[in-house]
Structure 1
Amino acid sequence: MQHHTLTPHGTASPRPSRRRASRFTGAAAAVAAVVALTTLTGPGAHAADNPYERGPAPTTASIEAARGSYAVSQTTVSSLLVSDFGGGTIYYPTSTSDGTFGAVAVSPGYTGTQSSISWLGPRLASQGFVVFTIDTLTTLDQPDSRGRQLLAALDYLTQRSSVRTRVDSDRLGVIGHSMGGGGTLEAAKTRPSLRAAIPLTPWNLDKTWPEVRTPTLVVGADGDTIAPVATHAEPFYTSLPSSLDRAYLELNGATHFTPNSSNTTIAKYSVSWLKRFIDKDTRYEQFLCPLPQPSLTIEEYRGNCPHTS
């Protein structure tokens, strides 16, 4: 294809002068440099900037959806194969083209089994995480024991499980309901290398957590009579270091057992929190900062913005 330049009169000149050709070459080089810079710093550069980003750019609809962009498989871990926790189910993205994924272990509450929190497995996994919903050694285990079991489950997941090659052992988190929620705080205190903790309507006799160094989202329920927010979720949150990336979400019109059923608000902010801190995916910051406002499903939301981790 022959390139032309325009004369001052608007006519095409197929033979530019050497000076004009030089200018044309220089301009082309400048344009190429700008294009290259734009490519490196534009929206398409996320993967290069952050190798842990997984999935398409998020929208409100995508994080509220019952399923994310990844197809999910699952595998069962028999309690006969492990001794430090009660076995469970691993949910994981079937894709092998995106490298490894961050992972999270999830504990049920007092008298509960993994079935009570199983909805979180495929929902979170479909957003790009390996999720291990566990049974505890006994249904009566206390929070400190549940914390140890969550860590044992993560160790199994990253070291012995059939999907261990799919998991990035440096990007791990914990979630738990009720005494399992208290267990997430115990786990985070014990292992500060954890990237995220999400206690759901948590219960624990220990009310102060200044030792925690893991970004923590505490989820309470305004109608909780078993672990009332005034004596559990709120003091847990306020006792976390003020310098920590932390948030407090109080569900509106909810009870202690709300986390036992599929819940869009819990899922929305859990996905955003895990993405932001396990994957360091700042595309999800928009859903956490500015702080969400009270709504039909949110009684109150507190936190520190912008996040630093």
Structure 2
Amino acid sequence: MRLRALFPAMALLAASAVAAPPAALAAASPYERGPAPTTASVEAARGPFATATATVSSVSGFGGGTVYYPTSTAEGTFGAVAISPGFTATQSSVAWLGPRLASQGFVVITINTLSTLDQPDSRGAQLLAALDYLTTSSSVRTRIDASRLGVMGHSMGGGGSLRATVSRPSLQAAIPLAPWHTTKNWSSTRVPTMIIGAESDSTAPVSSHSEPFYTSMTSAPDKAYLELNNAGHSAPTSANTTVAKYSISWLKRFIDNDTRYDQFLCPAPSPSSLIEEYRATCPHS
């Protein structure tokens, strides 16, 4: 009798096991956008999303700029990224990143600063002002998930992106490009941050900027340091496949929580003709 009584319970357990979804499917991020990535897709000049642009002027908090955004919202809303140029530069120096990132599934704004002579901390505040504009009053605000935001910047703009992580720890990702800042200790940064330095940079030498910045980020939940092989300070200001590949992967992984991109970040890429050095807190997932 006891054996017979067990049969219904065993059948119920078996049915539950069959009905349970695979662990991999249950863990998929609801923010995944676009098809499964490949090396070719993250290195491509354009991603799977068609994009459009909008010009920004007459705003407070930053000097205007250009918004690049996916034209379709069939897959849902997108994370957003603000990008600052460096000292004496305008948005044209980082413009190549706009369509490159937007076509991978982000709303991107490349900004002009209030003055081309603005220092890093001012640029950090302007990056945050640009994100606030995007999410509250821009024409594309309904396309954006305001909880999934990131910052990037070149040179003093890169230093500004570091300052933005301290000012707004709710950011999901930061990517300083050949960053310059007089502050060397960023131990209060709690935002996943990838620093991209350049081996032959004489304006912001990695030994006194990118490397100590990376080393000091002891509170960052995830961090990475990529040093471009035989590259100078201006390397991130024109189309660069290495910069794009790892920037896309970092933003996808931490703004979209898309673990499909971990394959490009962990294990850490080996030194090559393109990469002098790569350090990271792998594994991420």
What's the TM-score once normalised by structure 1's chain length? 0.85
Give the 5 Å matches for 1:163-202: 163-202=140-179
Q: Deviations over 1:252-281 (max 9, x none)?
A: 021000011000000000000000000110
Give 1:226's match in structure 2, choosing from 185, 188, 203. Answer: 203
Instruction: List alignment gaps of at least 5 residues for structure 2.
Output: 1-9
Structure 2 counterpart of 1:162, which letter? S
User: Which residue does the alignment assign to 2:22?
Assistant: 41
What SS is found at the alignment partner of 1:203? Answer: coil
Structure-1 separation of matches of 2:282 and 2:174? 18
Partner of 1:73: 52
Q: Aligned letter for 2:92? A: S
Cα 1:52–1:207 change in 2 (3 A) is same
Distance 1:71 1:30 in 2: 46
Using the TM superposition, give the Cα deviation of residue 32 of structure 1 relative to its aligned residue in structure 2, in angstroms: 10
Which residue identity does 2:89 align to in structure 1? G
- The answer as to 2:141 corresponding to 1:160 is no
The question of whether the paired residues in 1 share the 8 Å contact of 2:80 and 2:144 is answered with yes
Residues in 2 aligned to 1:213 and 1:243: alpha-carbon distance in whole angstroms:
4
* Larger relative contact order (Cα-Cα within 8 Å, sequence gap ≥ 6): 2
* Distance in structure 2 (CA, Å) of the matches to 1:92 and 1:201: 25
Query: Alignment partner of 1:49: what SS?
Result: coil
**1:244 Cα shift?**
2.6
Count the aligned residue pairs.
Answer: 275
Pairing 1:63-212 to 2, within 5 Å after superposition: 63-78=42-57, 80=58, 82-212=59-189
The structure number with the bigger radius of gyration is 1
Shift of residue 98 of structure 1? 1.0
Please state how far the C-alpha of 1:96 moved relative to its aligned partner.
Answer: 1.7
Q: Which residue of 2 aligns with 1:12?
A: none
- Which among 217, 220, 232 is matched to residue 194 of structure 2? 217
Q: Does 1:262 align with 2:223?
A: no
For residue 66 of structure 1, give the secondary structure of its aligned residue in structure 2. Answer: coil
Inter-partner Cα distance in structure 2 for 1:221 and 1:116: 16
| Corresponding residue number in structure 2 for 1:10 | none
Equivalent-residue separation in structure 2 for 1:205 and 1:32 (angstroms)? 59
1:50-94 CA distances to partner (integer Å, 9 max, x unpaired)?
Answer: 21000000111100000111001110101x2x1210000000011
